[in-house]
A and B are shown apart, each in its own frame.
Chain A
Amino acid sequence: MQGFIISLIIFTSIFALFGLGLNLQWGFTGLINFGHVAFMTLGAYTTVLLSVQGVPLPLATLVGALVAAGLGLLMGFATLRLRTDYLAIVTIGVSEMIRLIAVNEGWLTRGTLGLQGFPLPLASLNPTFPVRIVMLLLITAIVALGYRQLWRSLRQTLKKLPPEAIVPITVMALGYGSSLGLLLVGTGWAAKQLKPLLPAWGLGCLLLLALTLIGYFYIGLAQRLTKRRPQWSTGLMLVSTSALAVCGLWIYGIAIDAIYHYEKSPAKTGLMVISVAILALIYWGLEKLVRSPWGRVLKAIREDEEVTKALGKNVFAYKLQVLMLGGAIAGIAGALYSWQLTTVYPDNFPPLVTFDAWTIVVLGGAGNNAGTLLGSAIFWAYYNVTRFILGDIVPLDDARLGAFRIMLIGLLLMVVMVWRPQGILGKKEELTLGQ
């Protein structure tokens, strides 16, 4: 269980980082990048190849990030005049090119044989007690800062509500959420019991029927509740945030325990500390950036390039900076990804990875860094939870189950888009304004 949670934290951090790069490019600047995985591939391969040659890991990672930034620069120059769809086509082409180079240039990348046995960070470390304490404090500080921010945003939401409404909407949301959760868990449990008894098609039909009924009833209920009390969705937000906060504390406890017993799985624990620290650092840096005059120019470019030019901003230079910075961040994510996988194959970087990042960013809300973190957490929690649970419930073999999980992600995305087109943390006003 502990190993599972640790790897969940690592994956979440890596993809949050990866998504932050895309969010900077698309969410803030409006550059449609369908080849984000190219930066990750370059970062991963550069770091690993250099570290195999004996270059120290921090330096190798830095060079990896720089190489990824270099690709951003190239892409930027090549697409000087391109916008929207055309830029998207070029980026997807570049990412496939990078992957095919990784497949075919065997002298450099060992092609499809892949790279294994490369150095991992902090893997052979057996930290002394003070070092462990420092790690604990670091993680604790990051978590504490995270909770402070969560608390602040919660308080702001609460301030907007009339005080007498808080209790009823919380109760409503609590009832709604917990009864829905119980029903779903109950259905899952029942299906698990029935699985040996019923033929596959029978169970499938029953499951579909049950889910349709539950879905129909709860969507109708949600609509009626919205009519009676429009703020109740805020209550839903409050309840889920609190649930998330409690969940976060539990995960924090596990992480703390893992650091305390560092020697049990040094490579993973070390990687967890590193990824969380890097994520926190980059998140902080980006938040500062997007709230600065620099970030304001990016948002202006997203809204209207010509106006931004007319106001004396060098739009091209900003686009280059964004492609490079987003690329470098994805490059760092690539290095972490290779350490998490401990082997690197070209197949680790299919175009699908780019779209995972898109799912994360869209789910959380474009142009919102905290949303990207949340999106990544939901994405990976879903991905891992379904891997264990769905197998017991759904009458499908493993290969089909994999496809089925991806279908469900699509469905989740659709539900979010219908319910909150702006993403979970996005601002609704921004969506309705348009031009």
Chain B
Amino acid sequence: MGNEMGNEMGHETPETQLEVQPLLSAIDLCKSYGGLRAVDRVSIQVPSGSITGLIGPNGAGKTTLFNLLCNFAHPDSGQVTFDGAPIHTLPSHQISQKGLVRTFQVARVLSRLSVMENMLLAAQHQTGEKFWNVWFRPGQTQKEERQQREYASEILASVGLSAMAQSYAGALSGGQRKLLEIARALMVRPKMILLDEPAAGVNPTLINQICEHITQWNQAGITFLIIEHNMDVIMSLCDRVWVLAEGQNLASGTPIEIQQDPLVLKAYLGQ
């Protein structure tokens, strides 16, 4: 954490960042919908082990950028590199398998599956996910299932959802859904998680809880890229912040630098 090397005031060029090999980097990503250039030559770097923020006014293209990073939408041009390999040509499920997992802006839980099933689903490379293995390797399937169940219980316990494990995910409250979604992303055992507004529509106590969890998991080695409008969250969590406006890079720097950047103040923070 605390990659505050190579800081100069104001705007940095991507080149200065390349000294530290970033875990995720996107270069010159473009995406148009009809005549609208939703993302226009956006570059972003996320150093390994950091918590990086992504802010910008509504409609700045933050969520579209997330979609491009995970190939949920295919970029018109530009490239994305994760862990040293290009990923913008991979189908999105393979990106998740490589350890880059996303969450959604409006928490999307699988309603008619239990909370536990939501968690178990996220485990990768399960023997029982191939249908012939269900019949021909039942022992291995069950063994893995037991292990995953234990791991899932641990995570659920750490976010305080243990009591809900057997109820339908659709019966959870909004805040609990957010927690479940993050917990589920952890279950993938990822290198990096993209969080889309983890604090939106959540009460202050729960926001604090979520922030604590994020710090904790970050210390355990998971890199985060977070879209968030709640500036307190950004300021308290992030090592670096990238700012988008109207589909373009506006600025990047430490939270303090960003708060003082006149361009950012004008476009996003007001005053």
Contact = CB atoms under 8 A, between A and B. Distances in A.
Interface of A: 285, 288-289, 292-294, 296-297, 299-300, 302-304, 306-315, 321, 325, 429-430, 433-435
Nearest to A367: B112
Interface stretch (B79-87, B122-130, B207-215, B224-232): B122-130
B199 interface: no
Nearest to B123: A293
A422 to B, nearest CB: 11
B110 A303 contact: yes
B130 A304 contact: no
Given A294-B128, A299-B110, A312-B188, A307 B104 contact: yes
Given A300-B110, A430-B168, 14 more contacts: A288-B134, A293-B145, A294-B130, A303-B113, A304-B110, A306-B72, A306-B104, A312-B93, A430-B112, A433-B112, A433-B171, A434-B111, A435-B111, A435-B170
B176 to A, nearest CB: 14
Interface string B82-123: 000000000111101100011110001111110001001110
B93 A313 contact: yes
B131 interface: yes
Contacts of B64: none
Contact of B131 (A294, A304, A312): A294
B96 A310 contact: yes
Contacts of A434: 111, 170
A73 B18 CA distance: 46
Sorted nearest first, the 3 A-B pairs with minimum C-beta distance are A433-B170, A312-B96, A293-B128
B70 interface: yes
Q: Is the interface of A mostly helix, strand, loop or mixed?
A: helix
Contacts of B128: 292-294
B120 A289 contact: no
A368 to B, nearest CB: 12
A325 B135 CA distance: 14
A294 B170 CA distance: 21
Given A303-B113, A304-B110, A294 B168 contact: no
14 contacts: A293-B126, A293-B128, A293-B141, A294-B131, A297-B129, A300-B110, A303-B113, A306-B104, A309-B92, A311-B101, A311-B188, A312-B101, A313-B93, A433-B112
A293 B120 contact: yes
Contacts of A297: 121, 129
B202 to A, nearest CB: 19
Contacts of B72: 306, 309-310
A310 B171 CA distance: 22
B184 interface: yes
Given A293-B120, A299-B112, A310 B102 contact: yes
B56 to A, nearest CB: 22
A303 B108 CA distance: 10
Interface in B131-160: 131, 133-135, 138, 141, 145
Contact of B112 (A285, A293, A303, A321): A303
Nearest to A322: B131
Contacts of A429: 168, 171
Nearest to B106: A435
B70 A310 contact: yes
B168 A433 contact: yes
> Among the interface residues A311, A315, A434, which one has the most CB atoms of the partner chain B within 10 A?
A311
Contacts of B91: 314
Given A304-B110, A325-B131, A433-B168, A310 B141 contact: no
A312 B104 contact: no
A289 B134 contact: yes
Nearest to A294: B131
Interface in B45-102: 70, 72, 91-94, 96-97, 101-102
Nearest to A427: B112
Contact of B134 (A292, A306, A310, A311): A292
Contacts of A303: 110-113
Contacts of B110: 299-300, 303-304, 307-308
Contact of A314 (B93, B117, B138): B93
A92 to B, nearest CB: 26
B131 A321 contact: yes
Residue of A296, A307, A308, A312 with most partner-chain B CB within 10 A: A312
Nearest to A307: B108
Looking at B93, B96, B141, B171, which has the most chain A CB atoms within 10 Å of its CB? B93
Contact of A308 (B111, B121, B134): B121
